[in-house]
Amino acid sequence: MLRNEISKNRSKERIFFTRATQIFIECAKSSSFTEAATRLEVTQSSVSQVIKQIENELRVTLFERDTRPLRLTRQGELLFKELEESMSRMKSLVSLCRQDYYLRPSLELGMIESSASFVGVRLIDRLSKEVSQTRLAVGLSDKLLHEVINNELEMAVISSPIIQDTTVEWYLLWEEPWILVFPKSFPVKKNISWEELRVCGLPFIHHGAATANEKFFKNLEERLHFRLPRLMELDSNLLMYQFIKGGKGWTITQCHVALPQVDVNEIQVMKVPEPMPKRKVFLVTQKNCDQQLVKTVYSSLSSLMKEQIKQTFSKSFPEIEREFRFYDAYQKEGEFSLSTFI
């Protein structure tokens, strides 16, 4: 058991050195081929063969074999000293690399599905240079907010309204537009009104009851004093678009959720009637969260979202791209300056 542990530690220290180098160093330290073989868990004959191969390659004699214990020749001593110094430098470098890795913070981040599917992969890749490891949880806004409040997540990207809680901080990331999505074959005019939508004859596909989107629509219905028929409810965005493509209904959603997942030639996309406030997306964090880490995540999210929006919509839907509004800098809710991303 002890031998195995010694062997593990030794292999960690010498991972950058060849097996022949390790054998030579052990022989030099122990002054015995037999003892070196025991420590390295190999046969004595294999040790002798390796040492002989090194000597043949270098064309020098490294050990005086007619003495007991073994003694290094002058050339052997020079080689041993140089290798020891190289190994010491490498150990220090490995230690520094490990220290740098463990000093970097870890991150437990939550994201709503719309943001995670759009920029999640690129975000984790970019943050890998700043954090030692990342756990990404994808879920509904309410659930993610609850996990931040209960210290299960350090921060989360959500679209819930702001709540009064002294344990969290809110940072507004962007405001995103809504779009109407209809089946391609369904006759619908371009500038349709809310009342015309309500009686259009095609079922409105609601988002899941627990989602922030559905809560948003309920508030909107109360403000506009009307109600969209509640005949169908789906939690899956992808399934929702399959139903729409098949002529089963229409919906209101975010463009960066809908358009990258479907063939735009199979659906109709248009602007939502006014009044329709944009959906706000926040980075919510624990109160005592590392501020440098918050800034890093905030700036990475903002820049990646801008890049992806431009890449996805600038040519095919430039009017939708212009509807996105990003905030200038990392600032707490209520202190920001609004700018339009074009």
State yes or no: pLDDT of 273 exceeds 60: yes
Torsion angle, alpha carbons of 248, 249, 253, 257, to 10:
10
**Residue scoring higher pLDDT (198 or 24):** 24
State yes or no: pLDDT of 190 exceeds 90: no
Digit-coded pLDDT (tens) for 111-135: 988 888 888 899 999 988 888 788 8
User: How many CB atoms are closer than 10 A to CB 101?
Assistant: 10
Mean pLDDT within 57-73: 90
State yes or no: pLDDT of 48 exceeds 90: yes
State yes or no: pLDDT of 110 exceeds 90: yes
The answer to whether residues 316 and 260 touch, using CB atoms and an 8 Å cutoff, is: no
Per-residue model confidence (pLDDT) at position 259: 59
Domains in the chain, please, with CATH? 2-103 (1.10.10.10), 108-173+281-318+333-340 (3.40.190.10), 178-271 (3.40.190.10)
**Residue scoring higher pLDDT (76 or 103):** 76
Sequence-distant (≥ 6) Cβ neighbours of residue 211 within 8 angstroms: 140, 141, 235
Digit-coded pLDDT (tens) for 274-331: 878 888 899 999 887 888 888 989 999 999 988 888 887 777 777 777 888 888 655 5
CA dist., res. 306 & res. 304, Å (int): 5
Query: How many Cα atoms occupy the beta-carbon half-sphere of 63 within 13 Å?
Result: 25
Mean pLDDT within 194-208: 83
DSSP reduced 3-state for 17: coil
State yes or no: pLDDT of 223 exceeds 80: no
User: What pTM did the predictor assign?
Assistant: 0.62
